[in-house]
Structure 1
């Protein structure tokens, strides 16, 4: 692994950790809020769907595009 790839890997891990920490913090914050359990679960589900659409789904599309570009180069 080159030095550049190593730096990118470290940055990717940091970003993932920050996002994961934010998500965990959001869930804890929601569960500590003075709402009914049903409302809280609804909020958690909504937030999880938003995060999925914003980060996971987008990352899969980006990786697919990279893979396609690599296969086109061969």
Structure 2
């Protein structure tokens, strides 16, 4: 039975692709329509702005105001990014200090352990020397 299914798949390898295309076609139509409407609306808005019966002074004022708004938004975005960067730096500094303190504690523990080992060795050496003299 597997051979029969395999042969069917071999006979029409594009069967799955055709099914996917049939399912996608309605979505492609609606997505294309939506993109077309949005593009047309945007083009219409730009044309209306450029061709509106406003005086040159009025249009320049409007463009200057919009430019100021964009500059203000850009400045706010930069300020937000800088604040986030400062916060990230503070967190990194805190993490580094914490890791440094942990490393210092581990290093101190290893040093103390080695001192104890050395003291034990020295004591054993003293005892061995005293045992040889006696």
Question: Given the two structures, how large is their TM-score scaled by the length of structure 1?
Answer: 0.52
Root-mean-square deviation (Å) = 2.4
How many pairs were matched up? 50
Residue aligning to 2:61: 42
Ranges of 4+ aligned residues in structure 1 off by more than 6 Å: none
Q: In structure 1, list runs of 5 or more residues that go unmatched.
A: 1-21
The separation in 2 between residues aligned to 1:41 and 1:27, in whole angstroms, is 15
Partner of 2:76: 58
Q: Which whole-Å CA distance do the structure 2 matches of 1:30 and 1:37 have between them?
A: 12
Instruction: Tell me which of the two structures has the higher relative contact order, counting C-alpha pairs closer than 8 angstroms and 6 or more residues apart.
Output: 1
Structure 1 residue 27: deviation in Å?
A: 6.0
Larger Rg: 2
Gaps of 5+ in 2: 1-41, 94-134
